[in-house]
Amino acid sequence: MQTVSDYFGSMVFDDRVMRATLSEEVYRTLKKTIDRGAQLDISVANAVANAMKDWAIARGATHYTHWFQPLTGITAEKHDSFITPAPDGRVIMEFSGKELIKGEPDASSFPSGGLRATFEARGYTAWDPTSYAFIKGKTLCIPTAFCSYGGEALDKKTPLLRSMEALNKQAMRILRLFGNTSVKCVRTSVGPEQEYFLIDKEMYDKRKDLIYTGRTLFGAKPPKGQELDDHYFGVIKPRVEEYMADLNEELWKLGVLAKTEHNEVAPAQHELAPIYSTTNIATDHNQLTMEIMQKVASRHGLVCLLHEKPFAGVNGSGKHNNWSMATDKGVNLLTPGETPYENAQFLLFLCAVLKAVDDYQDLLRIAVATAGNDHRLGANEAPPAVLSVFLGDELTAVLEAIENDKPYSGKKKTQLKLGVDVLPLFQKDTTDRNRTSPFAFTGNKFEFRMLGSSNSIACANIMLNAAVAESLKQYADRLEGTEDFAAALHLMIKKTIKDHKRIIFNGNGYDEAWIKEAERRGLSNYRTTPDCMPHLLDKKNVDMLTSQGVYTETELRSRCEIMLDNYCKAVLIEAETMVDMSEKQIIPAIEKYVFKLCETAISKKNFAPDISCDYEHGLVKKLSTLTERAAAFTADLKESVVHVRDFCDIISQANYIRDSILPLMTSLRAVVDEAETKTAADFWPFPTYGELLFGVR
């Protein structure tokens, strides 16, 4: 029987495979390209391509694809076979270095935000050697960047790689100032915790809203939800356990470091967390994870829902982005050490993050903005739309001591006493965790909790990397060449604390009092995507992102256009689905039940004329009123969807959708959900919340 260590990474052309299949010279040259970004000679590319092809074919692959991440939020691939015709009528299997390095997919049908006209079809994919190739099904997948004929980035990988390089450049300047000459690079690492729902596929197939939008647009609250907290970390149901085991095996074959799995708070909700990887690889792996989650679910008669809020009244799904910085020597730059007060290097990098989050609150909010995530942010299972940083009591006290030029008299770590002699003693952390904070320090990393479950983690990490790089750049500019480095360093840390302490909040982020306090502090609170997205083009944001080489101004304008367009399309699809379900399923179903009630009342009267039939009469009256209201809201919603076309620019469309269409959708849902509670189960046209949330056993 194979063990996990036997098959882990068996479908990945990783370092082990490269060592075994490449000549020493080719391997050394390729590693130089991966580690230092050196140019790759075509002869080396040919040797790598041939080894990749032979390895992939030996594992059943017949095709290859340049696997890329366009601005759709999902991945894309075009498959080409390895076959080449031979003179004698047979075929031979070939794959060249040119085919490895560059591909040419059609760029006209992907979102470009005006970067490309529809008739301008040419686009390029370029191999990213820092992310290993892998086999999916019968296809060798080569991670690539995607750009237009004019060189503009049309994907999420390219800006992510640029942001990682920007942070590396500035972090290296800081480390050199501290006398560190041995470190060759600084990389950011990420561990994204992925939340998701599992429901029965037969029930899913009966709900148009789930099929078309990924979330339920109607649904009355069931008698039981998450009130008892009995699902969180509870015993995993056998059917779900089988799914998780199958999922782990598929992910491990692809080298994805799936580590932790458990039930989440809401019924039918679960979480998968990986071990940390370099941000670029973690992003690729998370995209793969979401894809494999859904594929494996179908094999078990399940559907994996990745929408941020698939069910009202219970927790939605997020994706916690655990982010840190480390040197190529393995030193985590966000580790405080035993005495953080005396660890000047740690304090400087900590201050760089505080400054970055405060200066670019809007960019971090924009990075997680989607129509789906707007339903989640600010609810009692997610952070508010206000950015703040949780540091905990000890680090906050350290910063206060530095700001006020006072000695820090903090407590040493103490042992946590459990009151049971047989249990081992362990060190108590110097600070508790805060699950209500959108950006929390958790020992040696920051946990950015605002991402939605379906988001690519690239966007958040692009903005985070770039903002921290900008902080470090400003620090390095001031410190390089200073005569008294220690004194200048102290003054700069002190100034950062004073200027940016407003972003630190260690309390309850769900408390309405905090929202009012945040407003007094001058923190931004962009509750919806249309509120925040136009700020992407604010001068300070454009200046920073272009100066760091992460985006061009043209690329930023395209992304603003694309993200607002995605918002509009997502909500309009939901609105049209609601109209369709209301007109064709819900109202007819209620009418049938009302007719049945009338028949029942007539029959009772015929059988016993003295019976009042008050129950039937009252219910018929109530349901008829609800039906009339539902029909009116449906008509208004239908008309409003048509009215969107009257707006010629995307910002006006988004604002109209936010202010007019979403409230109508809420009103229609409220009426229908009330009608559901009064309609006999046999007449309701699709599975209810109770059936969906508790149907997987």
- The model's pLDDT over 289-336, given as tens digits with 9 standing for 90+, comes to 999 999 999 999 999 999 999 999 999 999 999 999 999 999 999 998
Per-residue model confidence (pLDDT) at position 649: 93
Run of H or E residues at 326 = strand 319-327
For residue range 155-184, list pLDDT tens digits in order.
Answer: 999 999 999 999 999 999 999 999 999 999
pTM here is: 0.94
Cβ proximity of 192 and 286 under 8 Å: yes
Q: Which of 431, 465, 638, 658 is nearest to 548 (CA)?
A: 465
Average pLDDT score over the chain: 92
Residue 416 CA to residue 454 CA, distance in Å, equals 38
Q: Which of 586, 581, 580, 575 is nearest to 664 (CA)?
A: 575
């410190």: which residue's tokens? 479
Per-residue model confidence (pLDDT) at position 104: 82
Give yes or no for residue 426 having a pLDDT over 50: no
Per-residue model confidence (pLDDT) at position 120: 62
For residue range 622-650, list pLDDT tens digits in order.
Answer: 999 999 999 999 999 999 999 998 999 99
Per-residue model confidence (pLDDT) at position 571: 98
**Residues 6 or more apart in contact with residue 447 via CB below 8 angstroms:** 320, 321, 322, 323, 439, 440, 441
User: How many CB atoms within 10 Å of residue 639?
Assistant: 11
Give yes or no for residue 431 having a pLDDT over 80: no
Stretch 590-595: mean pLDDT = 98
Per-residue model confidence (pLDDT) at position 423: 44
Number of residues that make up the chain? 697
Q: Which of 164, 158, 73 is nearest to 123 (CA)?
A: 158
For residue range 211-257, list pLDDT tens digits in order.
Answer: 999 999 999 999 999 999 899 999 999 999 999 999 999 999 999 99
Cβ proximity of 112 and 76 under 8 Å: no
Q: Which of 287, 335, 359, 532 is nearest to 446 (CA)?
A: 335
Q: Which domains does the chain have, with CATH numbers?
A: 4-155 (3.10.20.70), 163-216+229-414+436-551 (3.30.590.10), 567-694 (1.20.120.1560)
For residue range 47-56, list pLDDT tens digits in order.
Answer: 999 999 999 9
Cβ proximity of 623 and 678 under 8 Å: yes
| Chain centre distance of CA 216 | 20
């480095």: which residue's tokens? 485
DSSP state of 312: T
**Residues 6 or more apart in contact with residue 413 via CB below 8 angstroms:** 427, 428, 429, 430
| Chain centre distance of CA 481 | 41
For residue range 480-526, list pLDDT tens digits in order.
Answer: 989 999 999 999 999 999 999 999 999 998 888 999 999 999 999 99
DSSP state of 453: T
Give yes or no for residue 113 having a pLDDT over 80: no
Per-residue model confidence (pLDDT) at position 117: 61
- 257: exposed, middle or buried (C-beta count within 10 Å: 0-12, 13-18, 19+)? middle
Per-residue model confidence (pLDDT) at position 119: 60
Stretch 185-194: mean pLDDT = 96
User: Which of 65-74, 251-260, 674-683 shows the lowest mean pLDDT across its residues?
Assistant: 65-74
| Chain centre distance of CA 619 | 45
CA distances for 73 relative to 38, 276, 277, 320, 403, angstroms: 30, 22, 21, 17, 43
Stretch 102-129: mean pLDDT = 77
Q: How confident is residue 415, by pLDDT bands cut at 50, 70 and 90?
A: very low
Per-residue model confidence (pLDDT) at position 432: 63
- 409: exposed, middle or buried (C-beta count within 10 Å: 0-12, 13-18, 19+)? exposed
Of residues 570 and 118, more confidence is placed in 570
Give yes or no for residue 419 having a pLDDT over 50: no
Cβ proximity of 247 and 289 under 8 Å: no
Share of the chain above pLDDT 90, in %: 80
Share of the chain above pLDDT 70, in %: 95
Q: Which of 375, 528, 500, 398 is nearest to 439 (CA)?
A: 500
Give yes or no for residue 121 having a pLDDT over 70: no
Give yes or no for residue 467 having a pLDDT over 90: yes
DSSP string, 499-522: HHGGGB--S-TT-HHHHHHHHHHT
Cβ proximity of 131 and 256 under 8 Å: no
Q: Identify the sign of the CA torsion 650, 652, 654, 656.
A: negative
Question: What radius of gyration do the chain's Cα atoms show?
Answer: 28
CA distances for 422 relative to 90, 429, 513, angstroms: 72, 21, 43
